[in-house]
């Protein structure tokens, strides 16, 4: 029997464990992902889980999704990630060595 839509869980979205504290404290308000993880709509809510542990740690609401070129990353992007710009660029290079098309997903934590 299918679950009624009103009680289906939100889609799952993962972050590395090292980002949990910054997200929960409101210091990290964007994430930069490749196309495979950027198909969200403003207003959509996502259930957060740690990667790789798969521990739940909250819910976010997507505020916007916009393409961004690696070379166009700015100090403002870094501030929203709670990093310096060199740190942000290194993290992206570590996660996406081929530097595919990237997207900025702006979000807010939903307090429960």
Catalytic (active-site) positions: 28, 31, 81
Q: Degrees (nearest 5) of the Cα angle 75, 69, 12?
A: 90
User: Residue holding tokens 């992902």?
Assistant: 33
Strand 12-16 and strand 56-68: the pairing is unpaired
Sheet holding 45-51, edge to edge: 12-16, 45-51, 56-68, 102-110, 30-34
């Amino acid at each position: 029997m299918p679950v009624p839509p009103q009680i289906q869980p939100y889609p799952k979205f993962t972050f590395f464990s090292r980002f949990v504290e910054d997200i929960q404290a409101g210091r990290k308000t964007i994430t930069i992902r490749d196309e495979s993880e950027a198909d969200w709509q403003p207003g959509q809510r996502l259930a957060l889980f740690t990667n790789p542990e798969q521990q739940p740690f909250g819910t976010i609401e997507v505020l916007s999704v916009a393409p961004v070129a690696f070379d166009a990353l700015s100090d403002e992007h870094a501030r929203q990630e709670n990093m310096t710009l060199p740190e942000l660029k290194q993290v992206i290079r570590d996660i996406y060595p081929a530097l595919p098309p990237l997207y900025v997903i702006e979000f807010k934590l939903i307090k429960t």
